[in-house]
Structure 1
Amino acid sequence: MRKLIMWNVITLDGYFEGQTNWDLSFHGLVWGKELEEFSLRQLKSADYLVFGATTYKGMAVYWTKAPEDEGEVAKYMNQIPKLACSTTLKNADWNNTTIVKDAVGEVSKLKQEGNGDLYVFGSGILSASFMKAGLFDEYRLCIAPVFLGKGRRLFLEGIPNQELTLIESKPLSTGGALLTYLPQEKK
C-alpha cells in the first residue's frame, strides 16, 4: 500500500509562501547539502508527485527550465509521474502528468495500488482536502528559522483536530530542522 506524504518547507510562524505567489525566498535559509540529499531520497521513493492546480503550474514552469545546478533533483522532478488535481485545468504540458478532477477519490484509489510513496508539495488547499479526508500517512516539514509575519499559511482553518506523533527530528547545519510526524491513528 502506498503512503501519502506531505512535504513542505514552512517558516517558524507557519507560512509556506510569502505575501505574493511563489515568494519562497525563505527556502534559501535552509537549502544546503543535507536538504538536497533528503530531497533526493524522497524523490527516489516517489511513485507520484501530487499538486493542486496553482502549485502544479508554478512547479511546471520552474522545473521544465530548471537551472543546471539543480541537476539530479531536476531529473527526478521531470521524470516522476505527476497528478495535477484540478476541476478547471484543461491541459498539462509537464511530462508524465495526469489531470484528475476528483483528487480525494483518485488518491484514495492510488494509495491501495503499489508500494511507493505519493508526495504532496505545497498545495495548501489540496492538502486541507486530504487532511479532512484523513488521507495523509505522514507529514514531513522543514522549518525555516524565520518569522515572515504575513503570507499564506500551510495549515488552514477548518482542518480536523488531530494529534501527531513526532517520529524523527533532525537539525540542519543551516539552522533549519526536519520534522516527521505520523497521525496518531497511523502509528
Structure 2
Amino acid sequence: MPKKRRVVAWVTMTMDGYTSGPEGPAHDSWLYEHVKREASAAYFEAIWRGASTVLMGRTNYEGFYSVWPAITRDPATDPRYQDLGQFLDTVEKVVVSRTLETADWSNSRIARDLEAEVKELRGTPGRDILVVNSASVIQALLRADLVDDLRFVVVPTLLGGGLRLFEEGIPASTWALAQSTVLPDGAIGLHYERA
C-alpha cells in the first residue's frame, strides 16, 4: 500500500498568535518585511520544495494570484523569488471555496468539500500537501484531525488584534517538536509533528 502523503500546515504569525492584522493581509507590513529577508526566503524555500500540492483558501489564492505572476515575470526579481514564483505557477493548486467561480491561475482547481478533498489527495502519489498561511483552512483541518505537520514562523511583532490561527473549538492534540530555527531578524521557525 502506498504511503499516505503528509498534510503540512505552514503559517507565519505574530507573537500574539495573529496571522493578519485587523485591516487584513494587504496592510500586514510586518509580514512582508519578514518574508523579503534572505534568511526567511531560504527557510521558506526548504518547506515549499517538499510539496507537490498547495492547498489554500480563497482569500490567499486571490492574494497570491494578484502578485506572484508579475513578480515571476519581472527580470529584476531576485532569482530565489523567481524560483518560488515558478513553483507557484506550476504546482497543483487546490483552492477551498464555496463562492469562487473560477480558478484561472495555471494548474488550479476549486474544491468545495475540504475534508473529502484532503482525504482523496492523501491517497494519491506525490510529495507533501502544503496548506499555505490559510488560517480558516488550517483550523478546519485541525478539527478534522487531518494535519500531520505544523510549521510556524513566529515574527517578533505584537498586533493586538486581527485573525488568529488558534481559536476556540480547535480540539486538543499533542505534538512533538521536530526542529526549531532562529532567523536573523529574531523570528523563530518551529516544526511540529503529530505525536
Q: TM (normalized to structure 2)?
A: 0.89
Q: Contact 1:6–1:140 at 8 Å: present in 2 too?
A: yes
How much does 1:118 deviate?
0.6
- CA–CA distance in structure 1, aligned partners of residues 167 and 52 of structure 2: 27
Match of residue 105, structure 1, among 111, 116, 121: 116
* Letter of the structure 1 residue corresponding to residue 185 of structure 2: T
Match of residue 7, structure 2, among 4, 8, 29: 4
Q: After superposition, where does 1:167-178 map in structure 2 within 5 Å? A: 167-178=178-189
Match of residue 29, structure 2, among 25, 29, 33: 25
Q: After superposition, where does 1:10-159 map in structure 2 within 5 Å? A: 10-22=13-25, 23-27=27-31, 28-29=33-34, 31-66=36-71, 68-69=77-78, 70-159=81-170
Q: Contact 1:92–1:98 at 8 Å: present in 2 too?
A: yes
- CA–CA distance in structure 2, aligned partners of residues 29 and 98 of structure 1: 29
How much does 1:183 deviate?
2.2
Backbone CA RMSD of aligned residues: 1.4
Q: Deviations over 1:77-105 (max 9, x none)?
A: 12111001112111011111011111110
Q: Contact 1:43–1:77 at 8 Å: present in 2 too?
A: no
The sequence identity of aligned pairs, in percent, is 29
- CA–CA distance in structure 2, aligned partners of residues 36 and 161 of structure 1: 32
State the secondary structure of the residue aligned to 1:16. Answer: strand
- CA–CA distance in structure 1, aligned partners of residues 114 and 151 of structure 2: 20
* Letter of the structure 2 residue corresponding to residue 76 of structure 1: F
Aligned residues: 184
Runs of 4+ in 1 over 3 A off after TM superposition: none
Q: TM (normalized to structure 1)?
A: 0.92
- In structure 2, the CA distance between the partners of 1:147 and 1:12, relative to structure 1 (3 Å rule), is same
- CA–CA distance in structure 2, aligned partners of residues 145 and 97 of structure 1: 33
State the secondary structure of the residue aligned to 2:102. Answer: coil
Q: Deviations over 1:72-131 (max 9, x none)?
A: 111111211100111211101111101111111011111122240011112111111100
Structure 1: 5+ residue stretches without partners:
none
